[in-house]
């Protein structure tokens, strides 16, 4: 799976310059340290986002209200909002590829739960590989966008359940119902709220959520992926949390590393961390674990 309509052109001075289809965008990026590598390129940006107070901001330049961008077979509708977001995190592209590769064809009805599922790229990568996906996000408009992305990606009829719900509330309900999942995907925000105002703070609520989620996984599970963009979470901590869901004799086979993107000039922008594990990779030995410490 290759990004066919996206490029990271440059980054620096707390900003990044990206091409999404025909549009070149200049946006804030806290991890973009150092000077610009290609200063001339920034002059050609079609639009620039500038933060203002209370997390809001505004776009300047010429952009449509929405347009579509292809990431391999996944097509996403992008909509610039007042927070500077578009509806995609391109650094997740390798994880979408990994998901599609690790849905085991030997399990006829592979059930995957995607929490904090956003606009659905992970959901669509898994569904396109044959998984039955339950897609959970707390924002109704975001779930509606994910359904639109499914139609754009020719997966409108795929076996996906679209749920508007707080992640922890949904997990507790599934445990009571006795539902079981072969795989689990999470990309939690640092802070947030559920549909009924339920607070979410990753440093307080992630560990209890994973402990609850372990009760509704098949034993052993088949696939696990946890990603994080929160500066306070280190890679080793993320890997340790995920490893608690893995059978003890396979915990050293979890894979973890940086979420990152490369520019057209060959520089690398750090964007967060991932931890993941699949029974398929564990059986073939295709895994990469972090050194102790």
CB 145 within 8 A of CB 87: yes
Q: What is the pLDDT of residue 153?
A: 98
Burial of residue 28 (CB within 10 Å: 0-12, 13-18, 19+) is middle
CATH topology of domain 6-78: Immunoglobulin-like (2.60.40)
Give, in order, the Cα–Cα distances in Å from 287 to each of 237, 259, 268.
Answer: 18, 16, 22
pTM for this predicted structure: 0.93
CB 20 within 8 A of CB 7: no
Q: What is the pLDDT of residue 256?
A: 96
Q: What is the pLDDT of residue 287?
A: 43
CB 3 within 8 A of CB 90: yes
> pLDDT averaged over consecutive 10-residue blocks of the chain (293 residues)?
77 98 96 96 97 87 96 96 95 96 94 98 98 97 98 98 96 97 96 84 93 95 95 88 93 94 94 94 49 31
Q: What is the pLDDT of residue 219?
A: 92
* Token pair belonging to 167: 């992640």
List the chain domain ranges: 6-78, 90-284
Q: What is the pLDDT of residue 195?
A: 83
Which three-class secondary structure state does DSSP give residue 243?
A: helix
Q: What is the pLDDT of residue 103?
A: 96
* Residues 90-284, CATH architecture: 3-Layer(aba) Sandwich (3.40)
Q: What is the pLDDT of residue 194?
A: 83
Q: What is the pLDDT of residue 293?
A: 28
């Amino acid at each position: 799976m290759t990004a066919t309509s996206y490029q990271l052109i440059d980054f620096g001075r707390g900003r990044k310059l990206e091409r999404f289809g025909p549009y070149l965008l200049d946006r804030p990026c806290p991890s973009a340290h150092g000077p610009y590598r290609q200063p001339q390129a920034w002059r050609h940006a079609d639009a620039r986002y500038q933060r203002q107070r209370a997390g809001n901001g505004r776009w300047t330049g010429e952009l449509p209200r929405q347009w579509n961008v292809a990431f391999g077979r996944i097509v996403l509708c992008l909509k610039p909002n007042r927070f500077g977001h578009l509806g995609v995190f391109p650094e997740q592209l390798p994880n979408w590829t990994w998901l599609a590769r690790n849905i085991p064809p030997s399990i006829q009805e592979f059930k995957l739960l995607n929490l904090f599922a956003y606009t659905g790229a992970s959901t669509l990568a898994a569904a396109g590989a044959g998984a039955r996906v339950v897609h959970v996000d707390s924002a109704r408009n975001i779930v509606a966008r994910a359904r639109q992305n499914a139609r754009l990606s020719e997966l409108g009829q795929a076996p996906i359940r679209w749920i508007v719900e707080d992640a922890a509330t949904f997990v507790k309900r599934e445990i009571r119902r006795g539902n079981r999942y072969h795989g689990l995907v999470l990309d939690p925000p640092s802070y947030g709220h559920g549909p009924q105002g339920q607070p979410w703070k990753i440093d307080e609520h992630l560990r209890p959520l994973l402990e609850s989620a372990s009760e509704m996984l098949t034993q052993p599970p088949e696939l696990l992926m946890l990603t994080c963009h929160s500066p306070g979470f280190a890679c080793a901590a993320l890997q340790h949390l995920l490893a608690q869901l893995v059978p003890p004799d396979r915990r050293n086979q979890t894979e973890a590393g940086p979420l990152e993107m490369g520019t057209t000039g060959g520089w690398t922008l750090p964007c967060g961390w991932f931890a993941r594990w699949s029974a398929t990779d564990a059986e073939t030995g295709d895994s990469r674990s972090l050194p102790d410490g």
